[in-house]
Amino acid sequence: MLVVERPKDMAQYVGKPLGTSDWVLIDQARIDAFAALTGDDHWIHIDVARAAREMPQGKTIAHGFLTLSLIPLLQRSVYKISRRGRGLNYGCNRVRFPGPTPVGSRVRLHQAVKAVEPVDGAVRVTFECSIEVEGLERPAVVAETVLQIYEE
């Protein structure tokens, strides 16, 4: 795990990979909880029996937005800023879902810094994120995310 002292120290990593997260299991309970929370109960996510009959791999798949939403959890094992204030999700510049995340898969995040921009008492960090699915060629998520991280 990369550890930097202050948010502005992320500037030295522009154009460089930060690292790779730990693996996280995507089980049916997580998928079902996300479906209940968001109201996205399409059968490809929650109907195990129908997915066994009709899906190419015979399994349900995680919501793309579920996989995307794991970035904050996954990045905790990629980097840490020791002395910082609050952090705000500023948004995404681009998000794509090139491949599925089948139930029972493990995923991990590959993260790099694309840009660091100073703003009032903070830095706005743009990350390049790719979420790999163990054993699959295509990533589940490719996203450019932006965090605004304040000094302490």
Which residue ranges form the domains of the chain, and what is each CATH number? Answer: 2-150 (3.10.129.10)
Q: State pTM to two decimals.
A: 0.94
The pLDDT assigned to 22 comes to 97
Residues 5, 8: Cα–Cα separation, whole Å: 9
* Closest by Cα among 126, 108, 109 to 117: 126
What pLDDT, in 10s, does the model give residues 81-105? 999 999 999 999 999 999 999 999 9
